[in-house]
Structure 1
């Protein structure tokens, strides 16, 4: 993630310089040739894994500088202290994880052009701000636990699939692996929160009807009730988990205009 943030910083410096050089040839009062924009992207963030999630955004142009948009994002929020370990049979699981936490983030916002690109090519820099509800889905994290009686030889294996509980599954060496992702999906619990984000987008469009770029920014998210992602016998749930989830993110997006 440090490499990701460094890349975002370098892109910010580069595109800012490029946009300033273009400002002399592109008038800030040029009326855009499109009125609608629809983009979809892949999200990377400091609260997610290798890929944080996906998003879509629909934008309507109001004038040469301002646009309004709605968007929806689907991500998995991970605890900062999650640690994947190997089991004795070669599989793996996340130590002390009791629940997955998936989040849907519908939002509305506004976008302002900071530096406008040339008519047919170049980089455009936009500032964005949006807010909306966060719909969290807490889904049990199931593991396969070995209950075989080791004191008696030649006993058949007894493997049970259960949600991880630190007071029941006390021996880490007996965890075979994690169960399939949607095991226990019918036990999912909703958590309602709110979020706010501020970002810069660096947009490249060679053609008037197509767009590609990156968006990088900060997201602040707060829940009314604390979602329990990790559990431990030694520490209360309230001391391990949080209600507030700040993150830094980067989204790579593609889309079309009309």
Structure 2
């Protein structure tokens, strides 16, 4: 005898004789029905998605596209309005991977730099002892994360690299007014304004700083600082044609120097306490280039 909980089918409504109706006790629950419906839909769409992906990626497998060369402007959290410039050369290894080398030249600024007006209407950076310029050769790998369709869309790549950091410290020169003056600030003799490397002890009276000197006044006094860096980034390529590329690269950079670069000096403050060896930053590079 059939168990009581499975003994009967639901009574057929009038006019539906001959149709088979699943007993309500045996019918799958709504979540289960939704699961199987979704599974069936994915099963139908999977071949179409695979075909579309294959069609979209096939053109980039062409062996005629083996190299890429780009150049661009760098913006970063350690620089000014424009951080610097960069070039990058890549070589395709396979459908997904490329290897690259790049060189980046930037200026690194201290976060406590403050620009002040001078009495003649010009300006200077308070407490700045040195400019710091950095060359960063980088060697790394690039992987395609999302390949764009031919002549449209955006391609997303992931990049990782590392290399040495070659820092160059160049003294910051100012024009300082040594003209003898009376209590009313009237000159008592001929004007005496000298170009000198900034020294917080020697140039303690900021009111007598006439102006900043030309950028390369201290070019003969360069001091090297050697370090290393690592970087990780995403690039978004908008190039429409196979032989040209344009896009942006955004990421982070971690940099460490063997000897502390002195960028600012302040009166009665230990320079080692206000200058760092470690320089993390976030950057964005806008680039253009070509492929061959």
Partner of 2:120: 89
Q: Where do 1:140-151 residues align within 5 Å? A: 140-151=171-182
Q: Is 1:195 matched with 2:229?
A: yes
Q: Show structure 1 runs of 5+ residues with no match.
A: 1-21
Q: Which residue of 2 aligns with 1:212?
A: 246
Residue in structure 2 matched with residue 25 of structure 1 by the alignment: 52
Give the unaligned 5+ runs of structure 2.
1-48
* Deviation, structure 1 residue 217: 0.2
Cα RMSD between the aligned structures? 1.5
TM-score, normalisation: structure 1: 0.89
Which structure has greater helix proportion? 2
> Taking structure 1 as reference, are residues 23 and 221 closer, same or farther at Cα in structure 2, changes over 3 Å only?
farther
Return the offset for 1:29: 5.5
TM-score (norm 2): 0.79
The aligned counterpart of 2:211 is: 177
Instruction: Give the match for residue 13 of structure 2.
Output: none
- Per the TM alignment, residue 23 of structure 1 is displaced from its structure 2 partner at its CA by 8.8
Of the three residues 154, 160, 169, the one matched with 1:138 is: 169
Distance 1:86 1:200 in 2: 40
SS of equivalent residue, structure 2 residue 278: coil
Q: Which one has the bigger strand percentage?
A: 1
Structure 1 residue 154: Cα displacement: 3.6
Larger RCO, structures 1/2 (Cα 8 Å, 6+ apart): 1
CA contact 1:40–1:253 (8 Å) conserved in 2: yes
Q: 1:49 to 1:24 in 2, by over 3 A?
A: farther
Match of 2:24 in 1: none
Q: Could you tell me how far apart the structure 1 residues matched to 2:154 and 2:167 are?
A: 35
Provide the C-alpha distance between the structure 2 equivalents of 1:50 and 1:237, rounded to a whole number of angstroms: 26
- C-alpha displacement of 1:234: 2.4
Q: Is this contact kept in 2: 1:26–1:119, CA < 8 A?
A: no
| Cα offset, 1:122, TM superposition | 1.1
Contact 1:142–1:164, Cα closer than 8 Å, also in 2: yes
Q: Is 1:106–2:133 an aligned residue pair?
A: no
Matched residues in 2 for 1:234 and 1:214: separation?
A: 44
Separation (CA, whole Å) in 1 of partners of 2:50 and 2:83: 34
Of 192, 195, 204, the residue aligned with 1:161 is: 195
Return the index of the structure with the highest Cα Rg.
Answer: 2
Whether the aligned pair in 2 keeps the contact of 1:61 and 1:67 (CA below 8 Å) is yes
Contact 2:180 2:188 (C-alpha < 8 Å) held by counterparts: no
Partners of 1:217 and 1:82 in 2: how far apart?
A: 24
